[in-house]
Structure 1
Amino acid sequence: MMFHRLITCFFLLLSPLPLLAASLQVQPWPAGAKAAHTIAHDDVCGGNTGGIFQHALPVLQARGLHASLGVIAGLCNEQQWQQLKQALQAGHELFNHTTSHVGMLEPGSLAPIAGWDNLKEIAQAQRLVQAKLGYSMQFVAFPSDLATPEAKAFAAAQPEILGLRAAKHLYDGSNAGLNVVDEIDPLFVKWDMYWRDGKWSRYKPANGNMLIQHAQAALESGSWSYRTMHGVADGSFESVPLAQYTEYADFLAAKVKAGELWVAPPTTVLRYAISRQQCALQLQGKQIKVDASGPDCQRYHTALTVDLTPDADWQGQFSQQGQKLASQKLASGQYRILLDPTKGNVRIQ
């Protein structure tokens, strides 16, 4: 009896393991990263934020990182327009921080202050940047992150705008700055503000570098953290010390290199997150059926990272519109491809 059992075990060991059924998974973040993080600097062209150009961008660029810069368009001088042009060429993103940075709300209410003008503060800022740089801003952050319902609706209605930073008076901060991957609202992007003493932040200096804490929180939860700050080593509001900023950039660069963290500007993140939500992919035999008919899929579309568990007769070749797609064979035996949902179905061989 023992002999027969040994023979049975021997042949079981020689037999190939059964293959799992073919399946498809769209990764929460590009290239299988665990989380996403955005670096945002407000008040460019105003508020003594010269350290953004002098210190922050060189630190980031030396590490291959990109930030988003909130432009107060009506305050920019010619030198600053040139600096912004160079920032765009380096891969950074600009967002609309209004024309003059005038406050919007009466204290303790949702009533706009006298003189607030959506056309002047939002639409004119868009036109100024377009005229000076040939660039269309796609994200809006209101001054002091306060906004009337009418201002939010006006900004969201602009055809080029893809996202708004959440108005701080409309959420309690209990999950400040962490956007859950399957629940991201492009018109309500949560964030956390840098304060040296941590007064109005969920992160405290007693626990270490507050900037790193925010990125680490995203990694631990698999979410998207949006870091708001002003200048670096300058006279701006709650300026970040250079040593602290450099330590933060080193942390981000190491996590990016390890494949754990995706660092990107807000509209880049939103394009991925909303495409993942709104563009339907379904594996049917040797084809990935794509439904990109929804308006948000069309509006936000970008390439998605798709992991495929293969069927037995797959050769690992993928094509879309007759063009071969690059694929990566993972250690798990899965294939990873980049798929643009707006380019139609994917053929598998």
Structure 2
Amino acid sequence: MMKAHDFVLALLAFALFAMLAFLPMFSHAGSLQVHTWQGGAKAAHTIAHDDYCSASTTGIEQYALPILNARGLKASLGLIAGSCTDAQWQTLKERVAQGHELFNHTLTHLGMLEPGSLAPISGWDNVREIVSAQQLVHSKLGYTMHFVAFPSDLATPQAKAFVEAQAEILGARAAKHIYDGKAAGLNDANQLQPYFVKWDGYWRDGKWSLYKPARGNMLIQHVDAALADGSWSYRTLHGVADSSWEAAPVDQYTAYADYLAAKVKTGELWVAGPSDIIRYQVTRTQCPLKLDGNTIKASTSNPLCSRYGTALTVDVRLDAGQEGTFIQQGKALPTQMLDASTARLAINPLLGDVKIQ
């Protein structure tokens, strides 16, 4: 007859054997990386066309959007909302469905400042130009704009503070250097200022641009600057081959779109509207993810996290080459295995912790 202590030892041995046999069924996470840009891209870029609904920017619809759509690229359209016709509202419904972003370029495109000063012109009204534009677009399209670009990129400190106080507006284009300092350039992912997004405006002769035609296609130069720096470049344009201010030639614009599409295809570049890029960067910095054993934990206590929160591109290195299953809110997240032990997935911190099985 087996003695009691022998029975206990046998039971413990069986339990240990069962545990060791069971462990390989689970993947153990070794490390976690949250990528600076969506999809693991090296840099980000925005294509922004101002003055949509102006009579002068017909080339946006005639040339720019067909060129971009053919290449799977998304633009951002700055609406002069009070100028949009019924036909343009219908077209904008299609553009929203295609994934293009709309941003607030005010109701009437009224210049805000007296020349060379911070004094507002007598006709400027923040509520009319900003809030009424928001309301009109929502009433026509059921769409909420989250980004503002002031006419001529000039704004009083009061107007900027007003925009920042609007809960639905997540960012704004940098006003010029009259009082803000340098507004042109690249946006560092780790020092992003959502209401001071730097940009470069297209000028055919390069007069007020960071880039010059003697060095090649100025549109492409702004893309390359971001790729070299690992940052976000925002390209301000008006129309293409039309009567708008500094309209871009079709051949330059087509070459630019071809270049963007090629960089997107290789995974080097993320092309998106300003709201998507701002959301990503604020989430990355204000909703930190960390690996704790087999759980990816999300910290969401910062109010900016709940306001801006979106999905982040995350790579998880698994121990022992095991392929993991990632569970969030009881559902398995789509996962791409980059190699035998590295999984890539999108995690929205607002949806809670992720269990690795």
Listed one character per residue, the Cα deviations across residues 303-345 of structure 1 (whole Å, up to 9, x for unaligned) are: 1011122233854221111111122222383221211101111
1:136 and 2:141 are equivalent in the alignment: no
1:70 maps onto 2:63 in alignment? no
Q: 2:94 maps to which residue?
A: 86
Give runs of aligned pairs for residues 1-349 of structure 1, distance below 5 A. 22-46=30-54, 48-169=56-177, 170-173=180-183, 176-312=184-320, 314-331=322-339, 333-349=341-357
**RMSD across aligned positions (CA):** 1.5
The separation in 1 between residues aligned to 2:338 and 2:323, in whole angstroms, is: 14
Q: Which amino acid aligns with 1:200?
A: W
Is the 8 Å Cα contact of residues 305 and 338 (structure 1) preserved in structure 2?
A: yes
Kindly provide the amino acid, as one letter, of the partner of residue 30 in structure 2.
A
Cα offset, 1:172, TM superposition: 2.2
Q: Which residue of 1 aligns with 2:7?
A: none
Instruction: Using the TM superposition, give the Cα deviation of residue 128 of structure 1 relative to its aligned residue in structure 2, in angstroms.
Output: 1.0
Paired amino acid for 1:116: W
Indicate if the aligned counterparts of 1:39 and 1:226 stay in contact, CA closer than 8 A.
Answer: yes
**Partner AA of 1:172 in structure 2:** K
Q: CA deviation at 1:31?
A: 1.4
CA contact (8 A) 1:85 1:133 kept: yes
Letter of the structure 2 residue corresponding to residue 157 of structure 1: A
2:11 match: none
Identify the range of structure 1 (224-233 vs 299-308) with the bigger mean alpha-carbon deviation.
Answer: 299-308
* Alignment check: 8 A CA contact 1:53 1:83 kept: no
Shift of residue 156, structure 1, vs aligned partner: 1.5
Q: Distance in 2 between matches of 1:78 and 1:344?
A: 43
Q: Which runs of 5+ in 2 are unaligned?
A: 1-27
Report if the CA contact (8 A) 2:104-2:148 is conserved.
yes
1:33, 1:262 within 8 Å by CA — same for their partners in 2?
yes
Runs ≥4 in structure 1, deviation > 6 angstroms?
A: none
Partner of 1:12: none
- Distance of 1:192 and 1:324 partners within structure 2: 42
Q: Hey, what's the Cα distance between the residues in 1 that align with 2:340 and 2:165? A: 44
1:249-281 superposed Cα distances (whole Å, 9 cap, x missing partner): 000001101111000011011111111011011
> Taking structure 2 as the reference length, what is the TM-score of the superposition?
0.89
CA distance in 2, matches of 1:332, 1:246: 40
Q: Deviations over 1:113-153 (max 9, x none)?
A: 11210011111111111111111111000000011111111
1:329·1:335 contact (CA, 8 Å) conserved in 2?
yes
* Equivalent pair of 1:118/1:154 in contact (CA under 8 Å): yes
Q: Secondary structure at the match of 1:22?
A: strand
Take 1:97 and 1:304, find their aligned partners in 2: how far apart are those partners? 29
8 Å contact 2:310–2:349 — kept in the other structure? Answer: yes
Contact 2:43 2:269 (C-alpha < 8 Å) held by counterparts:
yes
Contact between 1:40 and 1:69, CA under 8 Å: does it hold in 2? yes
Q: CA deviation at 1:171?
A: 2.6
TM-score by length of 1: 0.91
In the alignment, the residues of structure 2 paired with residue 166 and residue 56 of structure 1 have an alpha-carbon distance, to the nearest angstrom, of 24
Unaligned 5+ runs, structure 1: 1-19
1:261–1:313 Cα change, 3 Å = closer
Q: CA deviation at 1:301?
A: 1.0
Which secondary structure does the structure 2 equivalent of 1:179 belong to? coil
Q: How many angstroms apart in 2 are the aligned matches of 1:89 and 1:327?
A: 26
Larger Rg: 2
CA contact (8 A) 1:314 1:348 kept: no
Q: How far apart in 2 are the matches of 1:319 and 1:63?
A: 34
SS of 1:70's equivalent in the other structure is: strand
Once the two structures are superposed, residues 288-313 of structure 1 have per-residue CA deviations (whole angstroms, 9 ceiling, x without a partner) of 11111211111111110111222338
Measured in 1, the distance between the counterparts of 2:282 and 2:102 equals 20
> AA paired with 1:181?
A
C-alpha deviations, 1:4-23, integer Å up to 9, x for none?
xxxxxxxxxxxxxxxx9922
